[in-house]
Amino acid sequence: MSRADIRSQIRPFPLVATYLTGWAGQRTFEQIYDDLIPSFNRLLCYRTEPFCSSRPESRQ
């Protein structure tokens, strides 16, 4: 394989990185964040109920 062949196969990085997920295919970081934050907040409130009851803004 020549240098020209190798160079012709190099592609630039995309402007927005995507990551392969097990539940929704290719997603951006913002999409993953939007999907996981509600679940994480529920889990956090379940594990630390006194914290959530004293701070209603933490519940979503």
pLDDT at 44: 74
In this predicted structure, what is the pLDDT of residue 57?
Answer: 58
Helices (H), the chain: 3-9, 29-47, 49-54
- Each residue's pLDDT tens digit, 4-50: 999 999 988 888 989 998 888 999 999 988 888 887 877 777 666 55
Return the pLDDT at 48. Answer: 60
Rounded to an integer, what is the distance from CA 21 to the centroid of its chain? 9
Evaluate whether 5 touches 11 at the Cβ level (below 8 Å): no
Q: Which residue has the higher pLDDT, 56 or 28?
A: 28
Domain range summary for the chain, segments of one domain joined by +: 3-58
pTM more than 0.75? no
47-to-36, 39, 44 alpha-carbon distances in Å: 16, 12, 5
